[in-house]
Amino acid sequence: MSTAAPVLWQKNPALAWREIDDETVIISPQDSVMHELNNTGSFLWKNIDGDKSAAELAELLAANYEVTPDIALSDTQALLEEMSSRKLVVTVPATGGVTT
């Protein structure tokens, strides 16, 4: 039986972004749209590096903010979906499944 590899997330490399005063400003050059992330959004953004799944990002969020693991996972998944719909993040092709 094989289990699909976890989906990993990375920033869209076509974007321009900078951290400013604990917030993150992102520009989509293709459509000249500006996006902003608040403090926790910026924390997740910094850690979206192409090597982490939503669950791993949620663990980091729970460890650094006063939030339960369940809420951290729910918030992380919601933010990833929102950023994905805006083409700010993309999934990394799985390099291989986990076989059990």
Residues engaged in binding another protein (CB under 8 A): 13-18, 20-21, 23, 25, 27, 29-30, 32, 34, 36
Quote the least distance from Cβ 40 to another protein, whole Å: 16
Quote the least distance from Cβ 70 to another protein, whole Å: 32
Bridge partner list, 33:
28
Quote the least distance from Cβ 21 to another protein, whole Å: 5
Q: 36 vs 81, which CB is nearer to another protein?
A: 36
Q: 15 vs 67, which CB is nearer to another protein?
A: 15
